[in-house]
Structure formats: C-alpha cells, structure tokens
Amino acid sequence: MARRLAAVSVDLDAIHHYFAIHGLVSAGYDLDRAYDRALERMSAWAESRRIPLTLFAVGEDLERDGAARLVGVLADRGHAVENHSYSHRYDLTRLDPATIRSEIEAGSKAIERVTGRKPTGFRAPGYTVNDALFDALDEAAVAFDSSVFPCPAYYFAKAAAMGGMRLRGRESRSVLDTPRVLTAPRSPYRPGARWSDPAGKSRRFVELPVQVTRGARLPFIGTMLGVVGARASARLARACVGEPLVNLELHAIDFLDASEGLSTLAPYQPELRVPLAARMAALDAALDVLAEGGHAFVRLDEAARAFA
Ligand SMILES: [Zn+2]
C-alpha cells in the first residue's frame, strides 16, 4: 500500500485583506494584534497535536516587525514558510507577465529575509490560477504549487456572491476562475501546458490541489469544517481517508473568534458566526479521523518530493 500523507497548511493573510475583499472599512480595530494572537494560537495548537505546518505568507505582511518576528519563530520551530505572493492581489492572474513574476519574486525574497530559507512552494491568492501564472512559477523554479481548488460548491458559491455584490452596486476584488477548475485533478499531478491537464506533464513543478472529498468534491478546508461542526467534519474527513495526500487548508483567521474585533466581518464570513472553541473541535475531529486512517502528517515541501 502506498504511503498515506496529510498536510495542514495555513494561509497567513493579514486580517485587513478580508475587509478589502468584502469592500468593508476596518476602522477602529487593532487588526495587527488580532493577527499576532491568531499566529500564537496556531503555533500552540500545532505543538499540542505534534504536527508540522506549511505556512503561506504574504510578503507585504512581513514588513510589519511583529508579523516578521512571529513568522521567524514559527520557521525556527520547524514549520515551512512558503510564498503566498507579495501583495495578495486577487487579480494576480490578470496582470502582465512581468508583474506576475515580480509578485512571486518579491514574495519569495520577503520570506527568505525573515526565515533564512528560500520558499519552494506557492499558493495563489483566492485559489485563482491560469497558464500565465504557471509559466511564471516554472520560471521561478518552484518545487510545488498548491492553489488549484477543484470544488464545484465553492466555484458556484463564489460566482453567486460576486453576482450579488454587483447587484448591490458594490465591487468585489475577487476573480472567478475558469470552469476548468471543476474538472481539474483532485490528487497531486504534474501539470501540462494547460494548467488543468495532468497528462501533458510539461511543468517542472507538482500541483498539490487543495482538498475536496471523493465523490461530491465537497470542500475539505477549515472554513467548511468550522461551519458544519465536529460530526460532519469527521464524515468529510472519512471521505478523504486513503487519498495519497490529504491537503487541508486553513487560514490565520480560523484561529480567531468574532468577538476579537471581527464582528463586522461575521455577516460575510459564515465561519466567524461559530464560536472559536466549536471550530477548533471540528478541526480536531477531522484530524483525528485522518490520523486514525493511517495518514502521516508532513509539510507540503515534503509531500511535493513524494509526488515529484
Ligand atoms: Zn490568501
């Protein structure tokens, strides 16, 4: 039997990115303090579970000393810090090739400055990829990308939310992927010239898709687990057990409670309407199922080597 792997990654988006994507103003809250608290909690949680994390950091966020210090400490504790672009532009794939390259390079340099290690992997803002971005990742010689989220439920929910915002006359900063994402592979693959094509194998890096379940391709991500609760999270996890890699994606905000300055966001981020303790219980329930199912927890750079 092939080895069963699992990886927990956390996108370290600073909290102000959420206010931006929903077109909200964050006046009056100390969002930096909330962010630092999220990272400290995340670190303690990983230690209690004895799992290594893969952290996708936004280069620009590391210009704040407090964030840089915390991310440096996390790297020293053995967690991998990978590249989530320099400025987290949701329209990254719509930029010209030179700007896409500089978003990747500047993000990578900012992370290397803080951790002393050059990132080997990339995750695109908002899960949005295209062939131009994959070209740039090939040029940057990454070992892996982990951005493809082949999830119909997410795709249609995002399309509906963006349509709703337009109807209300508000502008969303999200970019909708092509429907190709719906049929993209759900297990690690080496992409072809077309990013969703596993047969071409012309890229030098591996794609480690964000996890969806077998069958209905339901999202197996922190946001979903928090909303559905512990029992349903365990069920979702069982629909992933046995996969070569279970790639569970979380966000720093998953470690915060709405009462910690985020109540304005709660109407837009359903998971924030669930108390933090309940969300953590759901997350633990899902990880317990994966551990009992024989999955070994690794960093995504280690997983990438296993599937290279
Ligand atoms: Zn992000």
Q: Is the pLDDT of residue 27 over 90?
A: no
What's the gap in Å between 91 CA and the centre of ligand 1? Answer: 12
Per cent of the chain over pLDDT 70 is 94
What's the gap in Å between 48 CA and the centre of ligand 1? Answer: 25
Domain boundaries, the chain: 5-307
What's the gap in Å between 14 CA and the centre of ligand 1? Answer: 8
What's the gap in Å between 124 CA and the centre of ligand 1? Answer: 7
What's the gap in Å between 67 CA and the centre of ligand 1? Answer: 15
What b/e sequence results for 171-200 when a residue is b if at least 16 CB atoms lie within 10 Å of its CB, and e otherwise?
ebbbbebeeebeebebebbbbbeebbbeee
Give me the mean pLDDT over the 290-297 stretch.
Answer: 98
Q: Is the pLDDT of residue 12 over 90?
A: yes
Q: Is the pLDDT of residue 250 over 80?
A: yes
What's the gap in Å between 1 CA and the centre of ligand 1? Answer: 35
Determine which of 126-130, 136-140, 203-207, 241-245 has the lowest per-residue pLDDT on average. Answer: 126-130
What's the gap in Å between 11 CA and the centre of ligand 1? Answer: 6
Number of C-beta neighbours around residue 296 at 10 A:
13
More confident residue, 175 or 143: 143
More confident residue, 25 or 142: 142
What's the gap in Å between 252 CA and the centre of ligand 1? Answer: 9
What's the gap in Å between 125 CA and the centre of ligand 1? Answer: 5
Give me the mean pLDDT over the 22-51 stretch.
Answer: 90
Q: Is the pLDDT of residue 2 over 70?
A: no
The pLDDT assigned to 3 comes to 84
Which CATH class for the 5-307 domain?
A: alpha beta
CA distances from 42 to 55, 128, 181 (A): 11, 25, 30
The pLDDT assigned to 177 comes to 66
What's the gap in Å between 58 CA and the centre of ligand 1? Answer: 8
The pLDDT assigned to 173 comes to 64
What's the gap in Å between 63 CA and the centre of ligand 1? Answer: 17
Determine which of 30-39, 130-139, 232-241, 290-299 has the lowest per-residue pLDDT on average. Answer: 30-39
Strand, helix or coil for residue 31: helix
Q: Is the pLDDT of residue 235 over 90?
A: yes
What's the gap in Å between 85 CA and the centre of ligand 1? Answer: 9
Give me the mean pLDDT over the 10-14 stretch.
Answer: 96
Q: What tens digit of pLDDT does each residue of 48-86 get? A: 999 999 999 999 999 999 999 999 999 999 999 999 999
Give me the mean pLDDT over the 187-208 stretch.
Answer: 94
Of the pLDDT bands very low, low, confident and very high (cuts 50, 70, 90), residue 171 is low
Of the pLDDT bands very low, low, confident and very high (cuts 50, 70, 90), residue 1 is very low
What's the gap in Å between 2 CA and the centre of ligand 1? Answer: 32
What's the gap in Å between 84 CA and the centre of ligand 1? Answer: 7
Give me the mean pLDDT over the 193-209 stretch.
Answer: 93
267 vs 211: CA distance, rounded Å: 25
Give me the mean pLDDT over the 209-235 stretch.
Answer: 95
Long-range contacts of 24-31 (CB under 8 A, 24+ apart): 24/264, 24/265, 24/268, 26/264, 29/261, 29/262, 29/264, 30/261, 31/261
What's the gap in Å between 126 CA and the centre of ligand 1? Answer: 6
Q: Is the pLDDT of residue 45 over 50?
A: yes
What's the gap in Å between 242 CA and the centre of ligand 1? Answer: 28
> pLDDT averaged over the chain?
92
What's the gap in Å between 249 CA and the centre of ligand 1? Answer: 11
More confident residue, 260 or 207: 207
What's the gap in Å between 12 CA and the centre of ligand 1? Answer: 7
The pLDDT assigned to 176 comes to 67
What's the gap in Å between 291 CA and the centre of ligand 1? Answer: 27
What's the gap in Å between 277 CA and the centre of ligand 1? Answer: 23
Determine which of 24-38, 99-113, 290-304 has the lowest per-residue pLDDT on average. Answer: 24-38
CA-CA-CA-CA torsion for 48, 50, 52, 58, nearest 10 degrees? 0
Q: What tens digit of pLDDT does each residue of 150-162 get? A: 988 887 777 777 7
What's the gap in Å between 239 CA and the centre of ligand 1? Answer: 25
Of the pLDDT bands very low, low, confident and very high (cuts 50, 70, 90), residue 109 is very high
